[in-house]
Structure 1
Amino acid sequence: MSNPSDKAEEEFDWVQFKKDYAVSNVESKRDKLIRKIKENPLVPIGCLATATALGMGLWQFRKGNSKMSQTMMRVRIGAQGFTVLALLVGVMMTMSKPT
């Protein structure tokens, strides 16, 4: 059987380990999002353009304006391409940065 003092000692060791190796600068989700946008500002712009073109294309399709709907779907494809290109450029720039 385990001794209650052994269990308490193990818990203390874990607490001490957490204190010794704790990361002092923990980044929140909001801070991480802001940092990522600053590092690569073209990706959110491309995502917003893609979502806008998609929404407008679907709205035009619902209204029955098929010509404008097709145009907006083509714009969406272009915006998606821009987003992917911006993402790739951002990754390349991040990889080439000295740490």
Structure 2
Amino acid sequence: VEQRILQILQAITMSTDTGVSLPSYEEDQGSKLIQKAKEAPFVPVGIAGFAAIVAYGLYKLKGRGNTKMSIHLIHMRAAAQAFVIGAMTVGIGYSMYQEFWAKPKT
């Protein structure tokens, strides 16, 4: 009986080793970002523009004059969002161009 149980356990452990490997988690975030940037080139442009507008808004925070802080922050947020929406629109237009007009029809 004990030998039969050992045989069953060995068969179970052998059957689970199918040679199929799970996706590795060795891929770091930098390579994922580079891969996504190749697929959609305007995403990094939108991120960089957003960061630049936020940095500019923080730089201009001291010299805002009589403008209230909340109004200044609203203007900077609206500018950053407009840049990101613009980059997304250009990216969608570019991908539509690649999909429908740049490919020769077969």
TM-score by length of 2: 0.55
Give unmatched runs, 5+ long, in structure 1.
none
* Residue from 84, 92, 95 that aligns with 2:88: 84
Matched position secondary structure for 1:28: coil
Shift of 1:11: 1.6
Q: Which residue of 2 aligns with 1:28?
A: 27
The Cα of 1:87 is off from its aligned counterpart by: 5.3
Number of residue-to-residue matches in the alignment: 92
Q: Within the alignment, does 1:13 sit opposite 2:12 as a pair?
A: no
Aligned equivalents of 1:85 and 1:42: distance in 2?
9
Give the aligned CA root-mean-square deviation in angstroms. Answer: 4.1
| Percent pairwise identity | 22
Q: Which runs of 5+ in 2 are unaligned?
A: none
CA shift for structure 1 position 52: 1.8
Q: Deviations over 1:62-95 (max 9, x none)?
A: x25149x465444313212123325545775798
Residues 13, 54 of structure 1: alpha-carbon distance in 2 compared, 3 angstrom cutoff: same
Amino acid at match of 1:36: K
Between structure 1 and structure 2, the one with the greater Rg is 2
